[in-house]
Chains A and B, each alone.
Chain A
Amino acid sequence: MMHIFEEGLALLRRRGAVSAVLALSMAVPMALAGFTTSLSLWSRPLVALESHATVVRVLLHPRMDVAQRQAWIAEQARNHRDWRLSEIDRETLEERLQVWFPYLEDLLEGEHAIELPTLVEIEAGDPEEVTALAEGPAVIAVGPTSSIDRVLGLTARTMTWLLGAISVILLASAFLLAATWIHLEVFRHADEITIMRLVGATESAIRSPFVVAALIPGICAGLAASVGAWYLIRMVAIAVEAVGLSAPVFPPWLVAAEIGVGVVLPMAAALVTMARHARVGETD
Chain B
Amino acid sequence: MIRLRNLTKTYDGRRILRGIDLQVEAGEFLFLTGASGAGKSTLLKLLYAAERPSDGGVWVAGQRVDQLSRHKLALLRRKIGVIFQDFKLLRHKTVLENVTFVLRFHGLRTREAHRRAYQVLKRLGLHHRQSALPEVLSGGEQQRVAIARALAYQPRLILADEPTGNLDADLAGELLSLLCDINYQGATIMVATHDHALLEAMPARTLVLHQGRIEYDGSWPP
User: Footprint of B on A, CB under 8 Å?
Assistant: 2-3, 7, 10, 14, 192, 194-195, 197-203, 205, 283-284
Contact = CB atoms under 8 A, between A and B. Distances in A.
Interface stretch (B19-27, B74-82, B121-129, B170-178): B74-82
Contact of A283 (B50, B75, B101): B50
Contacts of B15: none
Nearest to A2: B110
A94 B14 CA distance: 107
B101 A198 contact: no
B71 A195 contact: no
Q: Among B45, B48, B88, find the residue whose CB has the most chain A CB atoms closer than 10 A.
A: B88
Nearest to B92: A14
Contacts of B89: 195
B82 A203 contact: no
Contact of B71 (A7, A199, A202, A283): A202
Contacts of B105: 3, 200-202, 205
Contact of B70 (A2, A7, A192, A203): A203
A3 B107 CA distance: 10
Interface in B82-107: 82, 84, 88-90, 92, 101-102, 104-106
Contacts of A283: 45, 50-51
Given A192-B92, A200-B76, 13 more contacts: A3-B101, A14-B92, A192-B90, A195-B89, A195-B90, A197-B74, A198-B48, A198-B50, A200-B78, A201-B74, A202-B75, A202-B105, A284-B51
10 shortest A-B CB distances, which residue pairs? A200-B78, A200-B77, A3-B104, A283-B50, A202-B74, A195-B88, A205-B105, A199-B102, A284-B51, A284-B52
Contacts of B144: none
Contacts of A195: 88-90
A198 B102 CA distance: 10
B8 to A, nearest CB: 15
A279 to B, nearest CB: 10
A10 B50 contact: no
B149 interface: yes
A159 to B, nearest CB: 50
Interface string B49-61: 0111000000000
B110 A3 contact: yes
14 contacts: A3-B105, A195-B88, A195-B90, A197-B74, A198-B50, A198-B84, A199-B149, A200-B80, A200-B102, A202-B71, A203-B70, A283-B51, A284-B50, A284-B51
Interface of B: 45, 48, 50-52, 70-71, 74-78, 80, 82, 84, 88-90, 92, 101-102, 104-106, 110, 149
Contacts of B101: 3, 7
A140 B220 CA distance: 119
A249 B84 CA distance: 62
Contacts of B48: 198
A198 B45 CA distance: 10
B146 to A, nearest CB: 10
Contact of B82 (A194, A198, A205): A198
Q: Among A192, A199, A205, find the residue whose CB has the most chain B CB atoms closer than 10 A.
A: A199
A164 B140 CA distance: 62
A202 B104 CA distance: 12
Q: Among B45, B74, B88, B92, find the residue whose CB has the most chain A CB atoms closer than 10 A.
A: B74
A219 B3 CA distance: 51
Nearest to A205: B105
A200 B50 contact: no
Contacts of A203: 70-71, 74
A199 B92 contact: no
